[in-house]
Structure 1
Amino acid sequence: MDVWWRAITEADPGPKWAGLFAELWPAYRQWWLREGADARPTYLESLRALETHMPELIPLYDELCTLAGGGDLAARFLSLYRPPPYLSGCSQAIWPGKEPVLVRNYDYDPRAFESVVLHTSWLGRTVMGTSDGLWGLVDGMNDAGLAVSLTFGGRRVVGDGFGLPLILRYVLQTCTTAEEAGRALARIPTHMSYNVTVLDRKRNYLTAFMAPDRPAAITHAAVATNHQERVEWDAHARMTATVERERFLLQRLTLHVEPEEKFIAAFLRRPLYSSAFDRGFGTLYTAVYRPRKGEMELRWPRAAWPLNLHAFEEGTRRIVTPEPRSRAS
């Protein structure tokens, strides 16, 4: 698999973001309309949902809608309110060493992935992370030392709520501690089930099991894969090996005392690393977040890309992903 990654910085929404929108909007438009325009909420419904649940984002949302051309469909899409359903894999864990670290694998369809790290100072807060939905994030960190990451929760229920990447953007724009993030995650509705792991600079962490049809469960779990407190979708669990990946991570955190680097390296080998790219569940990258230091690192089997929140450098990387080694440790 051959993918070009980009790191982009733009303090306030402007021509770089507008260019990214123009480039990616055709594919996103096709995805947004795959069930027909009437299946998606109207602009007024979307705006009211944002005003109700994430009002702090409204000035930013309005600015992005203007940069996107002010069209009705683009504005509805950018709300990420009740989007079409989509599935991913993913594993994430908190390494409890001297320096708090959040490590995650993102397993998804490479044809539907932006391959962009976005660094912004929107609304007066510096945030960097892996972009999705053009302003949402599947993982990221802010200048308060808060890091977040999501995994799919392994349930087929679809409901009335937002796409999780926008909720992660909201958390990083408005929260400074794991406790604050937990309160936000407990109240904002999500359209599908997701697990969100949060780590702050003081080593506090939590995992929120979020769902559209029941209250979020805020836990002290240090590991999250693709189920919540029990498996509820057997076929998906078998296909993604979610239970096996969770057990593997828990064993490394509790039974095997090992250095941080060895723990991170395990994410690039089976059973955590997936080569199922043809089925939309290949590991597109491993991300390592050190929120106290403001450091993010992207890793692949043959490459690494360190990024710094406070000294961010734009750039591109051509990543060729090989078949991983079969050894699990």
Structure 2
Amino acid sequence: MHWRALSEEAPGPKWAGLFAEYWPDYKRWWLKEGDTARASYLESRRALKEHMPEIVPLYDELCDLAGGGDQAARFLSFYCPPPYLAGCSQAIWPGKEPVMVRNYDYNPNAFDSLILHTGWQGRRVLGTSDGLWGLVDGMNDAGLAISLTFGGRRVVGDGFGVPLILRYVLQTCATAEEAGAVLARVPTHMSYNVTVLDAKRHYLTAMMAPDRPAVITHAAVATNHQENVEWVSHARFTATVERERFLLQRLTLHRDPEEKFIGAFLKPPLYSTAFDAGFGTLYTAVYRPRLQQMEVRWPGTTWSFAMDDFNEGRRQVQIPGAA
């Protein structure tokens, strides 16, 4: 995998160049069910204005940089996108300096491979890109970290792709409590578990769904089911219950030290090589929100970032088990 780390204080030529590069592939994915299967521009912008009004000016700016086309604007709204599944495990290690750790299990051919550092709307945000302004995990300069896992349910409804919801949380929230309020009210198009950790060491996990109210919990661990396993075959294939149990044991029965706990994400049963089925582990992310530090790890390799001293760069990484 070829990874990049890019920083741009305000939306500009770097982001426009990324969009021009990625858009052909994203457009094929976005149109795979046909143009009429996706929400109209007016419907998409209206939904953004209703549920995430603070970032509408940023959205408009990005649409302009993307060329102002109808399909690009509808895609960038993340409203009612095509359904997609991921694996993933995430947990909070509650030490003196609490740490959020996550594995992202997904198809390497449908991934941005991009660490994005932005200062949009006066709020610095650092995280792993999805859709070029959405995030699958990230952290802001208020010391709030966030990460997602798929919730293990088939139902699809009217709502936003969750990576944009994560961006919205980091753009507008400073605490876990504020994030929980947002996650409880913004509609999602599929079921996801979103975990947040703030600088005061408060954390929560929101079990979001398109067909029922979000459940806000004090869970420190999230894998790929919610309160109960509903999609049995998916749960068996991804070993979601086994991964959850393993992490809970590491946090309670064994009380692993920080580095041992993080290292467990780079080994089975958390680390996956099921790339043929689209659920191999692409990376392990480590967030230390109080210290404003992030690491991306692979077996034998670590790439470190700091909010206040971010260095752009490129990495070529060999992922075990990936073609």
Cα distance, 1:165 vs structure 2: 0.2
Letter in 1 for 2:197: L
Which residue of structure 1 aligns with residue 250 of structure 2?
252
**Of 127, 134, 137, which aligns to 1:136?**
134
Aligned counterpart, 1:152: 150
Contact kept? 1:295, 1:307, Cα under 8 Å: yes
The one-letter code matched in structure 2 to 1:264 is I
Work out whether 1:316 is the aligned partner of 2:314.
yes
Q: Which deviations, in whole Å up to 9, do the C-alpha atoms of 1:105-153 show, x marking residues without a partner?
A: 0000000000000000000000010000110000000000000000000
Q: State the SS of the aligned residue for 1:311.
A: coil
Secondary structure, in 3 states, of the residue corresponding to 2:56?
Answer: helix
Runs of 4+ in 1 over 2 A off after TM superposition: none
Tell me the equivalent position of 2:118: 120
**Identity percentage over the alignment?**
76
8 A contact 1:154–1:226 mirrored in 2:
yes
When the two chains are superposed, the root-mean-square deviation of aligned CA atoms in Å is 0.8
Matched residue, 1:205: 203
Question: For 1:265-309, what per-residue CA distance to the aligned partner results, in whole angstroms no more than 9, with x for missing partners?
Answer: 000000000001111000000000000000000000121101001
> What TM-score results when the alignment is normalised by the length of structure 1?
0.97
Aligned partner (choices 16, 40, 61) of residue 14 of structure 2: 16
Distance 1:204 1:43 in 2: 38
| Aligned CA distance change for structure 1 residues 28 and 323 (closer, same or farther; 3 Å) | closer
2:268 equivalent in structure 1: 270
Contact persistence 1:302–1:321 (CA under 8 A): no
One-letter identity of the residue aligned with 2:88: C
Return the match for 2:80 from 79, 82, 98.
82
User: Quick one: distance in 2 between partners of 1:187 and 1:321?
Assistant: 37
1:29-44 to structure 2, matched below 5 A, reads 29-44=27-42
Q: Where in structure 2 are the equivalents of 1:23-62 lying within 5 Å?
A: 23-62=21-60
* Cα distance between partner residues in 1 of 2:276 and 2:3: 20
* 1:238 partnered with 2:240: no
Structure 2 residue identity aligned to 1:104? R
- Normalising to structure 2: TM-score of the pair? 0.99
Q: Distance in 2 between matches of 1:80 and 1:158?
A: 14
Could you tell me how far apart the structure 2 residues matched to 1:11 and 1:127 are? 10
Can you give the 5+ residue segments of structure 2 that lack an aligned partner in the other structure?
none
Equivalent residue of 2:39, what SS?
coil
CA distance in 1, matches of 2:276, 2:109: 10
**Alpha-carbon distance, 1:321 to partner:** 1.6
- Cα offsets for 1:226-279 (capped at 9, x unmatched): 000110000100110000000000000000022100000000000000001111
Separation of aligned partners in 2, 1:48 and 1:144: 29
Q: How far, CA to CA, are the matches of 2:82 and 2:321 in structure 1? A: 31
What is the Cα deviation at residue 323 of structure 1? 4.7
The one-letter code matched in structure 1 to 2:173 is C
User: Partner letter of residue 310 of structure 2?
Assistant: F
| Residue pair 1:207, 1:218 contacting (<8 A) in 2 also | yes
CA-CA distance at 1:322 after TM superposition: 2.4
Unaligned runs of 5+ in 1: 325-329
Distance 1:255 1:8 in 2: 40
Task: Give a deviation string over 1:12-32, Cα, whole Å, max 9, x none.
Answer: 000000000000000000000
Native 8 Å contact 2:90 2:149 kept in 1: yes
CA distance in 2, matches of 1:259, 1:40: 47
SS of match in other structure, 2:181: helix
The answer to whether the 8 Å contact 2:274/2:321 transfers is no
* Secondary structure class of the residue paired with 2:304: strand
In structure 2, relative to structure 1, the CA distance for the partners of 1:21 and 1:119 (3 Å cut) is same
SS at 2:82 equivalent: coil
* Counterpart for residue 216 of structure 2: 218
Partner letter of residue 10 of structure 2?
Answer: D
What letter corresponds to residue 209 of structure 1 in structure 2? M
Equivalent in 169, 182, 192 of residue 171 of structure 1: 169
Structure 2 CA distance for aligned equivalents of residues 98 and 302 of structure 1: 26
TM-superposed CA distance for 1:212, in Å, is 0.1
Q: CA distance change for structure 1 residues 323 and 86 in 2, over 3 Å: closer, same or farther?
A: closer
Deviates more, 1:263-272 or 1:253-262: 253-262
